[in-house]
Amino acid sequence: MSEHPTRPLLVKARISPARWTWLAVGLGGIAALFVIRSLTAETIDAGLPNQLQDLLTLAISVIVESMPFVILGILLSIVVQVWVPDTWIVRLLPKNPFARRAVISFLGMFLPVCECGNVPLARGLMVKGFTVSESMTFLLAAPILNPITIITTHAAFGWDGWVLVGRLVGGFVIANLIGWLYSRHPDQQSLLTPRFAAECRVTPSHDHGSRWTESVTLFVRETSVIMPALFIGSVVAGAIQVLVPRALLVTLGSNPLWSILAMLLLAFVISVCSNVDAFFILPFASTFLPGSIVAFLVFGPIIDIKMLALLRTTFTTRTIVQLTIVVALLSALLGLVINLVA
C-alpha cells in the first residue's frame, strides 16, 4: 500500500438486520449488568457470591468510565466522516511521511478522547482517507498526548522521577515507530478485518438522504460494532481482576526488571481510562520503580483487555497480536531506560 493512497470513499449508509441484532446484544448486555447489580444489592444477605459481586462491580465501573468517551468518539467520528469537507484533513497534513505521522500524533490535543473513544474515531479517519499505519499512529498517541491526560499525570506526579516526561516522549516515540513499521507493510488493507476493509472500499451513495440522516445511520452502525465489544471486554476485564491476586503483582515491585513486567501485566489486566490512570497507579509509586510506572502509563492506554475487544472490531487477530508484542517490548525498554536515568 502506498504512503498516500487515493482516499477511500464514504461508506454507503445502510443498516442491516445483523447490525440491529448486535446493537441489541451490546445494549441489552450492558443493561443486564446494571439490573443484576441493582437487584443483588437490594438482597445482599441472600445475594450472589462475593467474587461474582466484585465482577459485576468492576465490569460496571469500566463501562461507566468508558461510556462517555466511547459516545464522544463515535460523535467525533461522524463529524469527521460526514461534516468535514472531503480531503480537508488529509490535505492539511504534511506530505513527508515522517512529518505527517508526527503531526497526526498530536491530533489528540484537539480531539481529547481516551483510548476507548479513539477506536471509533480512528475507524472514521481511515474511512476519511488515513492509511492504516497513520490511523495506528493516531490510535496509539492520542490517549497519551492529549490535554486531559497531561494535566492528570502532572497533577499526580508533577515533574518527579521522569514520569510525566517519560510518558509523553515514550508515547510519541512508540506511536511513530509503530506507524513507521506498519507503513512498510506491502498490503496495509490486509491488516484490517474483511468487514471493515469492505466498508472502506464501498462507493458512496448519494441517494440516502440528508447529512443528518447519514449521521444517524452512522451512529447506529458504529454503536452496533462498539457496544458488544465494550460489554464483552468489560466482563472479561472484571473477571480477570477478580481471579488474579493483586498481592502477587505488588511483591514484584522492587526488582528493576520484574517490576516492569509486573506493571505491564497490571496495565493489561486493569482497564483504567488513560485520563485517570495516573491517579490509579499513584499509590504504587512508593513501592515500584519509576520506569515501571512509566511502562504502565504508556502500555495501558494502548493495550489492555478491554482495548483488545474494541481493536478486534477493526484489526485482524494477527495484527493485534503483533501490535501487543511490539508495544510491550518497546514499553519495557522505555521502562528500563527510565530506571537507569531516574
Q: Phi then psi for 300, rounded to 5 degrees?
A: -55, -45
Report yes or no: 300 and 272 within 8 Å, Cβ to Cβ: yes
Average pLDDT over residues 74-89: 74
Q: How confident is the model at residue 209 (pLDDT cuts 50, 70, 90)?
A: low
> What is the predicted pLDDT for the residue at 148?
78
Beta carbons of 269 and 304 less than 8 angstroms apart:
yes
Using CA atoms, how far apart are residues 161 and 294, in angstroms rounded to an integer? 9
More confident residue, 231 or 138: 138
Within 10 angstroms of residue 164's Cβ, the number of other Cβ atoms is 20
Say if residue 149's pLDDT is above 50: yes
pLDDT single digits (tens) 232-265: 877 877 777 777 676 666 666 667 788 898 889 8
Asked if pLDDT for residue 113 goes beyond 70, the answer is: no
Q: What is the pLDDT of residue 3?
A: 41
- Determine the Cα–Cα distance for residues 120 and 280; give it in Å rounded to an integer: 25
- Mean pLDDT taken over the chain: 80
Q: What is the mean pLDDT of residues 10-26?
A: 70
Report helix, strand or coil for 143: coil
- Distance, in Å, from the CA atom of 93 to the CA atom of 257, rounded to the nearest integer, reads 40
- Each residue's pLDDT tens digit, 271-327: 667 766 787 777 677 778 899 999 999 998 888 887 888 888 889 999 999 999 999
Q: What is the pLDDT of residue 6?
A: 39
The conformation of residue 94, written as its DSSP 8-state character, comes to -
pLDDT (average), residues 56-66: 80
pLDDT at 294: 94
pLDDT at 256: 79
Quote the cell numbers at residue 206: 448519494
Q: Long-range pairs for 20-28 at CB < 8 Å and ≥24 separation?
A: 20/220, 20/224, 22/224, 22/225, 22/227, 22/228, 23/220, 23/223, 23/224, 23/227, 25/227, 25/228, 25/231, 26/223, 26/224, 26/226, 26/227, 26/228, 26/229, 26/230, 26/231, 27/227
Cα–Cα distances (Å) from 153 to 104, 167, 273, in that order, read 22, 9, 12
26-60 confidence digits (pLDDT tens): 888 888 888 888 887 766 555 667 778 888 888 88
CB contact at 8 A, 261 and 252: yes
Listed by start position, the domains of the chain span 50-203+212-341
Residue 25 has pLDDT above 80, yes or no: yes
Instruction: Output the pLDDT for position 46.
Output: 52
- pLDDT value for 154: 86
pLDDT given for residue 328 in this prediction: 94
